Homo-oligomer: A and B are copies of this chain.
Amino acid sequence: MSLEASVSSSRRYLPEMTQAGLTPTSPVTAIDEYQRVREMHVADERPLTIYVDSYEIVTLMTIGSHPELLALGYLKNQGLIQDLKEIKAVQVDWEVAAVAVSTFTNRDDWKERLGPRIVTTGCGQGTVYGDIMERLDELKLEPQTLKQSDVYALLKNLNAHNDVYKSAGAVHGCALCQGTEVLIFVEDVGRHNAVDAIAGRMWLEGIEGGDKLFYTTGRLTSEMIIKIACMGIPALLSRSGITRMGFNLAKDLNVMMFSRAKGKHFLVYTGAEHLQYDVELPAREN
């Protein structure tokens, strides 16, 4: 798998970490329109409070399958910790619904920054600390040339990956991709959690974003573009739609952006000049 090949994990610093991922779905009974009893599966949703040393940072609502990566990626994407070597350990304890991130650094300056207590849920996530918008000014993304045929091959490969969605729905899937290949696929009840878990793994394994693509089943809103840009990824595909602010940000940050990418269909909103049309499609109907 090309992911392993691109990572020289033996030389990298790794914090101590639990492996406390939980099963993402559980069975439940419903009654349908025929009055039939149906055995369904639903996605789990669990609160997980992130602590960094003595600071309570945030409570995320998560499916719980990648709690350590989620915590790491959250801290990275929020700009709260920049260097992995600052982190001593990431320890999840579901009995208290918490992940304790312990560090080597003194964080006296956080008291003012974080406030006494912030509890967040929302679509699984929502609080943005710090000055992310300022970090964006330093970003220079450079989309690579994409072939239409490769986009189609990638979309086809992505179909194999949305396990939870197929069985239970109520989740969004996100993927880190390279060429036509899916490197990492994560599903979560909060679409931002899925992005953060991928950011956590990229951070842990030293994976660069510059030659990658990001795929999401969710909508491309402003925060999505900001996160993907902070992860250094210059191309973004969504099965869903975009917002005006997402469009404006993608344009400003030089992110190539596809929406409604499904089967043979897509709409390129930004960066169309990097797309090579190399597929002969059947004559269009309208």
Contact = CB atoms under 8 A, between A and B. Distances in A.
A208 to B, nearest CB: 26
B284 A245 contact: no
A147 interface: no
Contacts of A122: 120, 122-128, 190, 192, 223
A107 interface: no
Interface stretch (A9-17, A32-40, A85-93, A228-236): A32-40
A242 B114 CA distance: 32
Interface residues of A, number: 69
Nearest to A279: B33
Interface in A257-271: 259-260, 264-269
Interface in A20-49: 26, 28, 30-36, 38, 40, 42-46
Contact of A222 (B121, B223, B244): B121
B127 A120 contact: yes
Contacts of A123: 122-126, 190-192, 221
Given A31-B267, A219-B170, A243-B43, A121 B115 contact: no
A272 interface: yes
Given A30-B259, A192-B122, A245-B61, A45 B222 contact: yes
A34 B45 CA distance: 41
- What is the oligomeric copy number? 2
A277 B31 CA distance: 11
A95 interface: no
A247 interface: yes
A23 to B, nearest CB: 11
A42 to B, nearest CB: 5
Interface string A128-149: 1100000000000000000010
18 contacts: A32-B267, A33-B148, A33-B279, A36-B284, A40-B267, A44-B243, A44-B244, A44-B245, A45-B244, A45-B245, A115-B115, A115-B118, A119-B128, A120-B126, A120-B127, A122-B127, A123-B221, A169-B219
Interface of A: 26, 28, 30-36, 38, 40, 42-46, 61, 112, 114-129, 148, 168-170, 189-192, 219-223, 240-247, 259-260, 264-269, 272, 275, 277, 279, 281, 284
Across the A-B interface, the 8 shortest Cβ-Cβ residue pairs: A126-B126, A115-B115, A122-B126, A169-B241, A123-B123, A170-B241, A45-B243, A45-B245
